[in-house]
């Protein structure tokens, strides 16, 4: 897979094998995919959107790459995730061989709900940080200034993306 993985541009592969843990044989199952900019982040096609009632298909979830950073945007409701980095392992996606094929990641198969929600969770966690967008329900004054800051950030982000295309 290190020397010839062109087929992973179009599909993923599921590997089933047995291993021995505490003298018991267990069956393991993992899926390997290639990280493809604008398409398959960490080798996986995400489609989870946190907006109530929004049910995007994978084609609705646009992948935006900026160097090693990647974020998703839902074309149906305009939700935008925070960025994740594609040059390192995370709790769900691990590189198969970070030196030889850094773009190949594996994850447990079938993918858990947790995995499918990776970007949603990442975004929720970041927004729950004290320094980020907190206190929306707080005093009016504070609420207003934060809203304005958010709008500015959004506009900047959109113009950045326009520049990239």
Binding residues vs Zn ion (CB under 5 A): 49, 51, 54, 74, 76-77, 79
In whole angstroms, how close is the CB of 122 to Zn ion at the nearest point?
Answer: 16
* 9 versus 150: smaller Cβ distance to Zn ion: 150
If one counts every other C-beta atom within 10 angstroms of the C-beta of residue 160, the result is: 11
In whole angstroms, how close is the CB of 54 to Zn ion at the nearest point?
Answer: 3
* 76 versus 108: smaller Cβ distance to Zn ion: 76
Helix and strand element counts for the chain (H, E): 3, 7
Distances (CA, A) of 139 to 37, 129, 135, 149: 41, 18, 8, 16
In whole angstroms, how close is the CB of 76 to Zn ion at the nearest point?
Answer: 4
Please state the separation of Cα 88 from the chain's center in Å.
12
* 51 versus 97: smaller Cβ distance to Zn ion: 51
């Amino acid at each position: 897979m290190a020397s010839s993985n062109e087929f992973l541009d179009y599909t993923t592969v599921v590997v089933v094998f047995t291993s021995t843990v505490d003298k018991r044989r267990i069956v393991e199952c993992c899926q390997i995919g290639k990280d493809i900019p604008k398409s398959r982040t960490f080798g996986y096609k995400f489609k989870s959107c946190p907006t109530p009632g929004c049910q995007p298909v994978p084609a609705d979830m646009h992948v935006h790459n900026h160097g090693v950073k990647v974020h998703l945007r839902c074309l149906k409701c305009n939700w935008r995730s925070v960025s994740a980095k594609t040059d390192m392992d995370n709790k769900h996606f691990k590189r198969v061989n970070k030196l030889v094929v850094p773009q190949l990641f594996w994850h447990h198969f079938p993918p858990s709900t947790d995995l499918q929600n990776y970007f949603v969770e990442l975004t929720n966690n970041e927004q729950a940080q004290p320094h980020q967008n907190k206190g929306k329900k707080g005093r009016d004054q504070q609420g207003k200034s934060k809203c304005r800051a958010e709008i500015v950030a959004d506009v900047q982000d959109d113009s950045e993306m326009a520049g990239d295309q």
